[in-house]
Structure 1
Amino acid sequence: MSAAVWFITGASSGFGRSMTELVLKEGGIVVATLRQPDVLAELKAQYPTDKLLVLKLDVTKPQEIIDGFAKAEKAFGRIDVVFNNAGYGMLAEVEGTPEDKARVMFDVNFWGATNVSREAVRFFREVNKPTGGRLLNVSSVAGIKTVPALGYYTATKHGDRYFFRGAYSVLIVVAALEGVTETLASELDPEWNIKITLVEFGGFETKGRDNMVQVPAHAAYLKPSLVSAATRSYLLNTSVRIGGDAVKAIAKVYDLAQLENPPLRLPLGKDTVAGFREKLAKIVADVDRYESWSEGLTADN
């Protein structure tokens, strides 16, 4: 079987960079996309163009996404796996988050990732037919649980590839990318042979702290006893190393791409597993406690 072709967004650092390096090491082919291609100059010098294609791509620009997939098709004829990873975080209380900053982050974390997902599905169906393909959308335990002071970041889709995912509880549970990804997966025709997985990362040490937008704390949330204040203190303490080994985590995601029947969600990290179990237990408890409230609500015929 010929080497798999991976299309990776956010390849400049973090999980995107780690996945790029791992796929190349394993003999695969990578289309590495990022806003500043020069960041990968050293890696580009190590591999020939038939192994590594570096493209400038800003996921907030839909035409650049379309063009990126077109260039990948021209170079390699197909894409086997899309690792949809581009994004960033923002440290800010919901009440203190400027709307313009929140909208910009939504453009990247939600609309950017969603438009990549849409183009990936189209490509897998129309270009790869009948082979299909694998779409791996980077998510987080923060898409299931919430984290005070990371509310809008959580709302965008989950959590991205950042070290702060997973350890705390969050304010806004509705994770936009989670919802659209699950819906998209349910809409696919099985004959297209397209498999989609949400990779739910827990806390792993990457360069997310460097990329995180920091908004000054809202005046009403300065009390040290508030959980949001504790979150700020924890995340801004640069002397603290967070969570697990990102390289080992990426190796698991690489293995995931080889599975014939991958799961819709892959919780990755003990904190993610614990977070999922806690969330599910709370949901079941609420359902059991208030199930009787739904009795007798059927409309009379």
Structure 2
Amino acid sequence: MIPRVWLITGASTGLGRALTELILEKDEVAIATVRSPPVLDDLVQKYPSTRLLVLQLDVNKEEQIIDAFSRAKAAFGRVDIVVNNAGMGEIGEVETTDEGKGRALLETNFWGALHVTKEAIRFFRDENPVGAGGRLLQMSSYLGVVGLPGTGFYAAAKFALEGMTETLAAEIDPKWNIKVTSLVPGWIRSAMAPRLTWPPEHPAYAANPSLPTTALRNGSLDDVVTWKDTRRSAEVFYKAASLSDPPLHLLVGKDAIEATRRKIASLAEEVDKYEVWSEGLEE
């Protein structure tokens, strides 16, 4: 089989790094994009340029996104799979989170991901060999399905990514042979979590120690999160890229699945309870 060509954003650490390593071990081709290319020097020394291309890419800079795809085509002639993985985290109550930090998160996690998405779709359709198409794997989160205390801006970005991805999948022409999957994992061990810091606590929240975010502030994520292994999670996402008929949403992890099922049940209950309010509204 001809090795597939993957382009992965945010490949410096965590899941992006693990997936890059797995792709290379599988004798496929990885275009690993990072903000600081030297962080992958160990892989560059290990693999030839015919297998690994490391590119500088800040997803907040559209010209760098376009350049990355252009250099990918110059090096390999095509891109088969794009993993839209780059992102950042933020923690804090909606009321206490610094709005500047919230906007920066949305710029990266939604607008940056959107710009990668648009260039990936264009490239699959217009630059790849006719009919080859491609696969777009969007790194979402179950926090894009279920909002949890302390994750308001991160959840907002992932909810937006979920909505955009679902809409995009309904818009593209099937003859382009482009398949889109939103990866919806639970908590995966990464370099992001240790860097999260809480904003100053609002006294109104501090007054009630039973509030979810108050308890989180006084403990740690390890108290409430069951972490999933980064490498094994990468193997699941790698497997998803080989499905002939991939799902639009792929939930990964029991925490993601259980939280989503609770959300579905609660939503269905509310719909049933208030359905009668919609009677007689049609003109």
TM-score in terms of structure 2 length: 0.95
Instruction: Tell me how large the CA RMSD over aligned residues is.
Output: 1.5
Confirm whether residue 216 of structure 1 aligns to residue 216 of structure 2: no
Q: Which one of the candidate residues 213, 217, 232 is aligned to 1:228?
A: 213
Matched, 1:122 2:107: no
| Residues in 2 aligned to 1:83 and 1:142: alpha-carbon distance in whole angstroms | 19
Which residue is equivalent to 2:180? Answer: 196
TM-superposed CA distance for 1:44, in Å, is 1.0
Q: Which letter maps to 1:288?
A: D
Aligned residue identity for 1:295:
E
Q: 1:266 to 1:20 in 2, by over 3 A?
A: same
Question: Aligned partner of 1:197: which letter?
Answer: T
> 1:208 Cα shift?
1.6
Most deviating of 242-251 and 253-262: 242-251
Q: 1:233 to 1:132 in 2, by over 3 A?
A: farther
Distance change in 2, residues 1:202/1:67 (3 Å) = same
Q: 1:11 touches 1:17 (CA, 8 Å); kept in 2?
A: yes
**Which string of whole-angstrom CA distances, capped at 9 and with x for unpartnered residues, describes residues 58-78 of structure 1?**
000011001011110110000
Would you say the 8 A contact 1:15–1:206 is kept in 2? yes
> What residue is the counterpart of 2:234 in the other structure?
250
Aligned to 1:72: 72
CA contact (8 A) 1:149 1:232 kept: no
**1:90 aligned counterpart, secondary structure:** coil
Partner of 2:253: 269
8 Å CA contact retained: 1:90, 1:215: no
- Aligned partner of 1:39 in structure 2 is 39
- Shift of the 284–21 alpha-carbon distance from structure 1 to 2, 3 Å rule, reads same
Contact in 1 for aligned 2:82/2:120 (Cα 8 Å):
yes
Matched, 1:137 2:132: no
> 1:188 is matched by which residue type in structure 2?
I
Structure 1 residue 156 corresponds to structure 2 residue 157 = yes
Amino acid at match of 2:3: A
Identity between Structure 1 and Structure 2 (%): 47
TM-score (norm: length of structure 1): 0.90
Partner of 1:57: 57
In the alignment, which residue of structure 1 is the partner of 2:272?
Answer: 288
Distance 1:112 1:234, change over 3 A: farther
Aligned mates of 1:233, 1:244 — CA distance in 2:
23
Deviations 1:107-151 (A, max 9, x none): 100000111011000000001231100000001111111111110
**Does the 8 A contact of 2:109 with 2:157 survive in 1?**
yes
Matched, 1:177 2:178: no
Cα distance in 2, alignment partners of residues 277 and 262 from structure 1: 20
The runs of 5 or more residues in structure 1 that have no matched partner are 158-174
- Equivalent pair of 1:205/1:242 in contact (CA under 8 Å): no
Tell me how far apart the structure 2 counterparts of residues 93 and 104 of structure 1 sit (CA, whole Å). 16
* AA matched with 2:160: A
**Shift in Å at residue 224 of structure 1?**
2.0
Are the equivalent residues in 2 in contact too, given 1:92–1:214 (CA < 8 A)?
yes
Residue 241 of structure 1 deviates from its aligned partner by: 7.9
Q: CA deviation at 1:240?
A: 8.9
For residues 224 and 157 of structure 2, what CA distance do their matches in structure 1 show? 26
Q: Is the 8 A contact 2:92 2:151 kept in 1?
A: yes
Please give the per-residue CA displacement for 1:69-122, whole angstroms capped at 9, x wherever unaligned: 111011000001001100011011111122211111111000001110110000
| Equivalent position amino acid for 1:261 in 2 | D
CA distance in 2, matches of 1:75, 1:221: 54
Which letter maps to 2:203? A
Instruction: For residue 137 of structure 2, give the secondary structure of its aligned residue in structure 1.
Output: strand
Residue 139 of structure 1 contacts residue 199 of structure 1 at CA under 8 Å; is this kept in 2? yes
Task: Give the count of matched residue pairs.
Answer: 281
* C-alpha distance in 1 between matches for 2:225 and 2:270: 36
Residue 172 of structure 1 is matched in structure 2 by none
For structure 2, the 5+ residue unaligned runs are none
